Structures are given as structure tokens and as C-alpha cells.
């Protein structure tokens, strides 16, 4: 028998063994012997781990957790869910969509207010990026965001969408968030913050998608651009400016829309970061925003003379200049 055939036969035998064990454990749970079944799952977990049967251990713990969840045995289910993560952390399992979907499904079944849920998602995200300091795999963030959206936990859903690559899903969630929790005069605030934060994460594509989708689908936003809301016009111009990469345009744009930007004190902080990432602006030396948009340093030469000249243009001319980026 060739090596591939031998491995395939071995895998089939192992799966058959796991299924037989699962059948016995399922029967125990169905009888209501939750404690005994839980202890047996843990015993088998350590046995499989000592034999380096990582795939079998992970599969058994995953299905066991779902079984306990189906019987509302949250503590036992959460414990087995943590064991799934332990297998992943101690084995050489690759980050695959199926595994990420399994982790998201376990997360979705956990009690929303349990401390185990927070611990589980933290470990899952850390594993998904190889234990590095990164914030987690975008696919896992997307799956978590979708679960939290269904739970109407919009704030947490928004956080995970920002770390995914799903600008369209984020926009649709924000439309629902705005319609159900926001005021009519805040429709522009929901998307503006998301776009600015996507840009701060250097995710220009998702920033553009979330803006276009949100403004197209929100029932309280008239078709544009241009838009009735000045802040939406600012975001539209900003996305154009990011593509153009011209510091003078970015500077004048921020100056002209300061009344709208003052609606949220964080906007200028985001714009400082965006200036550094996309326009080559050095980090500011003081916590005030004047370093980027305040009085120009006249000793710095021609660039600031040009900025001063642009400051004196009318808003109409500035708009035309931005449209030509």
C-alpha cells in the first residue's frame, strides 16, 4: 500500500473511532449525565493530546461543545471550547476558513455576558495571527462582526468590522445601527467615523466601500455627491484627496471643513494620522491640532507659501480644485 493510501486509510479509521466515542458521549449527555460526560470529554482530550492526535482532539472537543450548548450547559460547553483553542495553540494547525468558521460558531453559542466569551475571543484572535501582536485574522473578525450584528451589539460589531476587509457588511450594519439607535441629524456621523478609522488602519479600499454603500443605502441620505450634509461632502473629498496624495489639497480641505469637523473632537486626531500615512506629514510635536492646520511656518519655504495662497481661494474654487484631483 502506498503512503498516501496508507494515510487515507488511517484517517478513515481515526474518524470512525471518534464517531464511536462521540456516539457514547452523546448518549450520556442525552440522559442528562452532564458531569460524567464532561469529565469523559476531558479525559479523552488529554489522551488524544498525549498521542499527538491533534485533529481528533479538536474535532471531538468542537462537537462536544456544540452538544453541551444545545443542552444549555454553558459552563461545560465553554470549557470544551477553550480546549479547542488549546489544541490549535499546541499543534501546527494552519489557519483555514473551516477552522475560523468553527471558532466563530462556538463564539455565537456562548452566553453574551459570560467572561468565558471574552477570554475565548481574545485567544482565538491571537491564535489566528500566529500568536503575534497583530489584532487578528480579518476573516475571523468578519465572522465575529456578523454574529454581534445579529445580536444587535452594534458597537462591538463595528469594532470587528473595522479589522476585517468587509466594507460593504460594515456599511449595512451601520445603516441599521443609525436607523435604530441614532438621531436623524447624526446620519453622517456614523459613516464619517468609520471611514476615518479605516483610513487610520491604512485600509483605503474598505473606507471607500463603506462610504459608497452607506450613502447609497441609508434611507435618510439624498443621493449624491454632492450631499446635503457638509460632513459627507468632506469625506467624499477626503477619499479623492487620498487618491491624489497632495498635501496642499488635504490641508485646505481640512481647514475649510473645520466647523463640521468640530462636531467630534476625535476627527482631527484621526486626520493627523491620515496626514502621516497618506500625505507624508511628520508626527505632530504637541497634542494640539495646530501643528498641521495652524499658522504655517514661514521659514519652511515655498510649500507653505502655496498653502497660504490656497487659503485665500474662495470655497467655490477650492471645490473645483478638489474635483479635479
Residue 247 lies in a domain: yes
Distance CA 156, CA 170 (A): 12
C-alpha atoms less than 13 angstroms from C-alpha of 211 in its C-beta half-sphere:
26
How many domains, in total, are found in the chain? Answer: 1
CA-to-CA distance for 226 and 237, rounded, in angstroms? 10
In this prediction, residue 303 has a pLDDT band, given cuts at 50, 70 and 90, of very low
pLDDT given for residue 284 in this prediction: 76
Which range, of 8-17, 85-94, 206-215, averages the lowest pLDDT? Answer: 8-17
227 exposure class (CB count in 10 Å sphere: 0-12, 13-18, 19+): middle
Instruction: Give the pLDDT confidence of 156-202 residue by residue, as tens digits.
Output: 999 999 999 999 999 999 999 999 999 989 999 999 999 999 999 99
Grid-cell match 457588511, residue found: 169
Backbone dihedral angles phi then psi of residue 158, each to the nearest 5 degrees: -60, -40
* Residue range of the domain that includes 205: 167-284
Q: Is 48 among the domain residues? A: no
Overall residue count recorded for the chain in this entry: 325
Of the candidates 82, 139, 134, the one whose C-alpha atom is nearest the C-alpha of residue 107 is 82
Instruction: Note whether residue 184 is domain-resident.
Output: yes
CA 194 → CA 136, 201, 204, 227, 242, distances in Å? 19, 11, 11, 18, 16
CATH classification of the domain holding 272: 1.25.40.10
Does residue 1 fall inside a structural domain? no
Q: Are 275 and 264 in contact (CB under 8 A)?
A: no
Position 236 in a domain:
yes
User: What 3-state class would DSSP assign to 260?
Assistant: helix
Question: Is residue 309 included in any domain, yes or no?
Answer: no
Q: Note the pLDDT tens digit of each residue in 247-280.
A: 999 999 999 999 999 999 999 999 999 999 999 9
321 pLDDT tier (thresholds 50, 70, 90): low
A 10 A CB-CB count for 157 gives 24
Is residue 202 left, alpha or beta, with left meaning phi > 0 and alpha meaning psi from -120 to 50?
A: left
pLDDT at 319: 54
Beta-carbon neighbour count of residue 303 at 10 Å? 13
Average pLDDT, the chain: 86
Supply the pTM of this predicted model: 0.82
Q: Alpha-carbon torsion 166, 167, 169, 174, what sign?
A: positive
Which of 31, 23, 100, 120 minimizes the C-alpha distance to 64? 23
Show Cβ contacts of residue 256 under 8 Å, excluding neighbours closer than 6 positions: 315, 318
**For residue 264, is it within any domain?**
yes
Predicted confidence (pLDDT) per residue in 117-160, tens digit: 999 999 999 999 986 657 899 999 999 999 999 999 999 999 99
- Residue 198: inside a domain, yes or no? yes
Amino acid at each position: 500500500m502506498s503512503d498516501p493510501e496508507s494515510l487515507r486509510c488511517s484517517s478513515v479509521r481515526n474518524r470512525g473511532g471518534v464517531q464511536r466515542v462521540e456516539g457514547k458521549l452523546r448518549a450520556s449527555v442525552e440522559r442528562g449525565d452532564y458531569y460524567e460526560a464532561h469529565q469523559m470529554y476531558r479525559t479523552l482530550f488529554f489522551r488524544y493530546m498525549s498521542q499527538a492526535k491533534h485533529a481528533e482532539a479538536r474535532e471531538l472537543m468542537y462537537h462536544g461543545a456544540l452538544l453541551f450548548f444545545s443542552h444549555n450547559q454553558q459552563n461545560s460547553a465553554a470549557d470544551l471550547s477553550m480546549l479547542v483553542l488549546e489544541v490549535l495553540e499546541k499543534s501546527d494547525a494552519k489557519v483555514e476558513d473551516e477552522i475560523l468558521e468553527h471558532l466563530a460558531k462556538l463564539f455565537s453559542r456562548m452566553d453574551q455576558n459570560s467572561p468565558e466569551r471574552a477570554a475565548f475571543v481574545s485567544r482565538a484572535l491571537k491564535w489566528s495571527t500566529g500568536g503575534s501582536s497583530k489584532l487578528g485574522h480579518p476573516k475571523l473578525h468578519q465572522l465575529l462582526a456578523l454574529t454581534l450584528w445579529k445580536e444587535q451589539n452594534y458597537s462591538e460589531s463595528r469594532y470587528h468590522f473595522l479589522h476585517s476587509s468587509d466594507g460593504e457588511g460594515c456599511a449595512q450594519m451601520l445603516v441599521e445601527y443609525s436607523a435604530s439607535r441614532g438621531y436623524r441629524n447624526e446620519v453622517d456621523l456614523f459613516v464619517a467615523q468609520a471611514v476615518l478609522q479605516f483610513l487610520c488602519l491604512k485600509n483605503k479600499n474598505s473606507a471607500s466601500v463603506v462610504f459608497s454603500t452607506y450613502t447609497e443605502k441609508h434611507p435618510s441620505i439624498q443621493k449624491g455627491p454632492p450631499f446635503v450634509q457638509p460632513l459627507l461632502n468632506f469625506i467624499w473629498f477626503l477619499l479623492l484627496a487620498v487618491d491624489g496624495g497632495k498635501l496642499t489639497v488635504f490641508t485646505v480641505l481640512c481647514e475649510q471643513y473645520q466647523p463640521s469637523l468640530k462636531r467630534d473632537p476625535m476627527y482631527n486626531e484621526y486626520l493627523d494620522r491620515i496626514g502621516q500615512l497618506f500625505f507624508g506629514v511628520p508626527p505632530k510635536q504637541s497634542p494640539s491640532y495646530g501643528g498641521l492646520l495652524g499658522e504655517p511656518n514661514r521659514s519652511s519655504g515655498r510649500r507653505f507659501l502655496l498653502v497660504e495662497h490656497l487659503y485665500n481661494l474662495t470655497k467655490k474654487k477650492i471645490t473645483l480644485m478638489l474635483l479635479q484631483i
